[in-house]
Chains A and B, each alone.
Chain A
Amino acid sequence: MAATVKLPPVLDITAAAPLAAELMVARGKDISVDGSKVEKIGAQCIQVLLSAVSTWGHDGMEFELARPSPVLVERLGIAGLEPANFSARNA
């Protein structure tokens, strides 16, 4: 049973630490991160998500970025990334 983490609308610098903590708690199980509500995201939260992706991959668990909001997709694009960068599949 995959855990679900809902991303808050505002993911600025102050949200990075709470987000990392929330993800840490979910570590060890497959996870689906719901990005449908994201209205703002900064580079540091992107870092946290990227770190989580490689962590899940490292643990052999699945990580999925589900329903990314248009804003999220656009911001990731600016940063030279795409939603596909945010998934770790159980090989």
Chain B
Amino acid sequence: MAAIKQTFFQECEEQLAELETGLLAIESGETDEDTVNAVFRAVHSIKGGAGAFGLEDLVRFAHTFETTLDLVRSGQIQPDAGLIKLMLRSSDTLADLVRYSRDGGDKDDARVSQLHDELTRAADPNAVAAETKPAKKQPKNAARVPQPEPEPVEEPETSPEDDFVPITISFDDLLGGGGGETQDDGQQVYKIWFKPKPELYAKANDAIKLLREISALGDADIACDISEVPLLGELDPEGAYLSWNIRLATTEPEAKIREVFEFVEFDCDLTVEAEPTPDPDFEFVPEPIVPVDQRADEAGEGPLIPDAVLAKIAEIASAEPAKAMTAANSQAQPAQAAAQTTIRVDLDRVDRLIDLVGELVINQSMLTQRVTEAGIARLSDVAVGLDDLEQLTREIQDSVMAIRAQPVRPIFQRMSRVVREVADMTGKSVRLVTEGENCEVDKTVIERLADPLTHMIRNAIDHGLEKPEERVKAGKPEQGVVRMSAAHRSGRVIIEVSDDGAGINRARVKEIAIKKGVIEAGVQLSDGEIDDLIFAPGFSTASTVSDVSGRGVGMDVVKRSIQALGGRISISSKPGKGTVFTLSLPLTLAVLDGMVVTVAGQTLVVPLTAIVETLQPKASDVHGLGERAKVIAIRGSFIPLIDVGNKLGYREEEADPINSVAIMVESENRAQSALMVDGIIGQQQVVIKSLETNYGQVFGVAAATILGDGRVAVILDVDAIVAGNRSDTAKADVANRKRNAA
């Protein structure tokens, strides 16, 4: 049961995404039937599932929301800007309720009931009969059947093929008084055909329960059709093979019968027909058949079909939609299936596969090493075979990684909600522009991006964008723009969050940094360095802790979470033009291309993405700076030289730069540093094994890996080492100055 509930919540997430996409599409003017239907279906599915699990709050809210949407769908109310905004807010609240039902926690009852009222009001502006179920179900135009065409009556305007639902109308119902009449005792007999689909059971509904409810409505004669049940060998125990033909004599209206199936409407095939009772006085005299147009001419002014018959058609048509919808649904589903065949796989299984492929990569590189050690010629069959194996292994690895890759779209969508909320709170008018939503990134990366991105968006609106009047004064449009884009660039994904606000107020940032003791007064900083100060721990530019950005976390937390993902964050700001935050993230957290180096007898891996170049320092290029610091002159600029062995505590004394290799690395603020190592072994793809999960965090070490010879090597955290060096130097500098002053 828990597993089924889990699936329900997963599906809810999908439906909510669908809902939001649809609403945003409607907002941008796409009010075609498909979009509106998709939105309606999303809410309806959530309601259905929630009903099955007895999530009352969710059902109630979804129902109200659905009622309003239904009126939009049927064209009875027009989605104006106000209503769309209301629906977007309702979609947010629906998402909250889903999450509340799943995770517990706080629920904003006031907000829910307020939206509830607003939705009800929106649904009932001209006292539209929204509450009675049959009216609610009434499809578009059912009440005004247009072209006189006795049979079948087509539902007009259901334009796309898969939504076209012919409705069969019996002549018995149209002509004469006998058809569809109730029996003498007020009972009407209905013929019900009900065939569950596997989804019905998968959503924890049971046919027996539904049948029991039907039986409770009156005198039911239930016949089970077992003809489709296969032999045990071919049976899917969780499949759906049974169907039922029910003859129900009841005084209840047909709507009551349909209500029983309301929550499973999309998960079963269902027909409900009133059984006609023959009228003994009725005599059917066929008219001579005349071509329709001719007859219309003859009839002159009069309508082709009398109003009474039209009304009857409308009545029957209105009773048909559930059947029609089922038909539409069963038609639509194969179409969808053809477009995208997917299976749900437990993430654990994928991860196990990824782990195994990782082992395969390690094993393959071990094998290569053994072959090399055995002195087998490069061109021998064995070596060539191994090359092929390596190629294959890489392909397998890429394919496996692709399984975990997901488009960033959902997370971008979630941000549109953040934008709406923050814009409301701050009274600013904001437009969110997104680009590259289809860019794919590892699932874990995506999941862990939500918080940092939320915070960055909040900051961009709260601190970045000016107030509307200030914008107008500055000659900008009143509405601010926050832009989010994602793109693949050289094996990494680059996500940019930018605003067209005032840019960073550097004088103020510096002032605050000094006040908060982040930097010493009088320190000379470049513009870039000042901008970077906002990433410093404990830094917040807002003079008051605002409701929006100041929730106890600053940009330093954002930076740390990005770094924890193996990513980098940088900032660039132009006064008056706005600020751009750039995140550079690895596509996957499982492998990386690295340079294998030796330091003090240890083997280390330096991520290739950080490396700019490698060189052998010349004695003339190396200069001392202060007491211990050294710099190297390269192409006219001085770059700090960092001894990795010393920083990681492998050796006390600094290595001699002349006998070392310098690896030029670029850290997140594009500053370069040179890491000194003893030698380079080669370049290799390594499988990342988390140190945090298996041991604990270690300074300067991002993770570990297993090399081809079976040894464990640590993967260097370049940014941490560079930052560590900078603060060491700064401390030494301060100590020096204090000593000099004393």
> A interface vs B, CB < 8 Å?
12-14, 16-17, 19-20, 23-24, 27, 41-44, 46-48, 50-52, 54-55, 58, 75, 78-81, 85
A23: chain B residues at CB < 8 Å are 232
Most buried by A among B196, B242, B244, B246: B242
Are B235 and A48 interface neighbours, CB within 8 A?
A: yes
B1, CB-defined interface residue at 8 Å = yes
Instruction: List 20 additional contacts besides A50-B242, A51-B230; criterion CB under 8 Å.
Output: A13-B4, A19-B237, A20-B232, A20-B237, A23-B232, A41-B208, A42-B201, A42-B208, A43-B196, A43-B206, A44-B239, A44-B240, A47-B229, A75-B208, A78-B208, A78-B222, A79-B211, A79-B224, A80-B222, A80-B246
Are A47 and B242 interface neighbours, CB within 8 A?
A: yes
Interface size range of chain B in the complex: 20 to 34
User: Which residue of B4, B206, B232, B246 contacts A42 across the interface (Cβ within 8 Å)?
Assistant: B206
B226: chain A residues at CB < 8 Å are 50, 81, 85
Across the interface, name the chain A residue whose C-beta is closest to B222: A80
What are 13 inter-chain pairs, A to B, with CB distance below 8 A? Answer: A14-B1, A42-B208, A43-B201, A43-B240, A43-B242, A47-B241, A50-B226, A52-B232, A78-B208, A79-B208, A79-B224, A81-B226, A85-B226
B207: chain A residues at CB < 8 Å are 42-43, 79
Please provide the chain B residues from 59 to 116 with a CB less than 8 Å away from any CB of chain A in the complex. none
Across the interface, name the chain B residue whose C-beta is closest to A26: B232
Are A78 and B241 interface neighbours, CB within 8 A?
A: no
Q: Which 6 A-B pairs have the closest CB atoms?
A: A80-B222, A16-B237, A80-B224, A43-B207, A17-B237, A55-B232
Please provide the chain B residues from 172 to 229 with a CB less than 8 Å away from any CB of chain A in the complex. 196, 201-202, 204, 206-208, 211-212, 215, 222-224, 226, 229
Q: In whole angstroms, what is the CA distance A43 to B200 when docked?
A: 11
Across the interface, name the chain B residue whose C-beta is closest to A59: B231
Most buried by A among B222, B224, B237, B239: B237
A55 with B233, Cβ < 8 A, contacts A43-B196, A79-B244, A80-B244 known: yes
Across the interface, name the chain B residue whose C-beta is closest to A49: B229
Across the interface, name the chain A residue whose C-beta is closest to B230: A51
Are B232 and A44 interface neighbours, CB within 8 A?
A: no
A46 with B242, Cβ < 8 A, contacts A52-B232, A75-B208 known: yes
B238, CB-defined interface residue at 8 Å = yes
B246: chain A residues at CB < 8 Å are 80
B211: chain A residues at CB < 8 Å are 78-80
Q: In whole angstroms, what is the CA distance A52 to B229 when docked?
A: 10
How close is B167's CB to chain A, nearest CB, in angstroms? 28
Are A20 and B244 interface neighbours, CB within 8 A?
A: no
Are A44 and B201 interface neighbours, CB within 8 A?
A: yes
Q: In whole angstroms, what is the CA distance A48 to B580 when docked?
A: 61
How close is A69's CB to chain B, nearest CB, in angstroms? 15
Are B237 and A48 interface neighbours, CB within 8 A?
A: yes
How close is A22's CB to chain B, nearest CB, in angstroms? 11
Q: In whole angstroms, what is the CA distance A24 to B230 when docked?
A: 13
Q: In whole angstroms, what is the CA distance A44 to B1 when docked?
A: 15
A16: chain B residues at CB < 8 Å are 237-238
Q: In whole angstroms, what is the CA distance A80 to B238 when docked?
A: 20
Most buried by A among B1, B201, B226, B230: B226
Q: In whole angstroms, what is the CA distance A23 to B237 when docked?
A: 12
Across the interface, name the chain B residue whose C-beta is closest to A75: B208
Are A43 and B235 interface neighbours, CB within 8 A?
A: no
Please provide the chain B residues from 366 to 395 with a CB less than 8 Å away from any CB of chain A in the complex. none
Are B229 and A51 interface neighbours, CB within 8 A?
A: yes
Across the interface, name the chain A residue whose C-beta is closest to B221: A80
Q: In whole angstroms, what is the CA distance A29 to B47 when docked?
A: 47
A54 with B208, Cβ < 8 A, contacts A78-B222, A80-B244 known: no
Are B208 and A55 interface neighbours, CB within 8 A?
A: no
Q: In whole angstroms, what is the CA distance A55 to B207 when docked?
A: 23
Are B208 and A43 interface neighbours, CB within 8 A?
A: yes
A13 with B224, Cβ < 8 A, contacts A51-B229, A51-B232 known: no
B204: chain A residues at CB < 8 Å are 13
User: Which residue of B208, B222, B231 contacts A51 across the interface (Cβ within 8 Å)?
Assistant: B231
Q: In whole angstroms, what is the CA distance A16 to B242 when docked?
A: 14
